[in-house]
Amino acid sequence: MTDHGRLVAIGEIGRPHGLGGEVRVTPLTDRPERFQTLSECVLWDVARDHRAPCRVTAARRQGAALVVAIAGCETPEAAADLTGRLLAVPEAEALLPPEGHFYPWQLEGCRVLTEDGRDVGRVLRVEPAPAQDLWVVGDEAREHLVPAVPEIVLDVDLKARRVVIRPPDGLLDL
């Protein structure tokens, strides 16, 4: 795991746990059980874009969080220094999403067309929202917020890097 390339965050380190250097981790994956078999990952300081290989030596559930032991982190002070960092894996090691689902990062850059073939732009990013995710779709001139709901998103073809939508009247005029 030397060339990390694009990373997928699977957990965010919170506060230290106990006196042995363990950390509480908020899972950023739909399948937090993956931590129980994860041995190698990347410790990612996003603010500095510093990436370091990391070995997970133990992981267990504690409510909605996980308690994780990281090789070389043996004191509460060392654990505190990791607060806010992400545990990540290279994109190629991300778990496959369930059939018909996809990760937000897989959508970035996909061309968005209306069902009658009108070019709307490309997916720039996905913004979580309380009711549903909002896809920010843009071209050179403007950006549109497209709610990610089945009534609007008709087809997502990741291989072709294409999304087909049926926008309600006025959505693309906002």
Domains of the chain: 7-93 (2.40.30.60), 104-173 (2.30.30.240)
pLDDT at 95: 81
- The Cα–Cα gap between 119 and 60 comes to 47
pLDDT in tens, 33-59: 889 888 899 999 988 889 999 999 999
* 8 A C-beta contact, residue 82 and residue 65: no
pLDDT at 165: 95
pLDDT at 1: 42
Place of tokens 């995710």: 133
State which amino acid sits at residue 158. L
- The Cα–Cα gap between 9 and 166 comes to 31
pLDDT at 4: 52
Query: What letter would DSSP give residue 78?
Result: H
Cβ neighbours around 122 below 10 Å, total:
17
* 8 A C-beta contact, residue 155 and residue 144: no
More confident: 124 or 102? 124
* 8 A C-beta contact, residue 162 and residue 121: no
- The Cα–Cα gap between 49 and 12 comes to 15
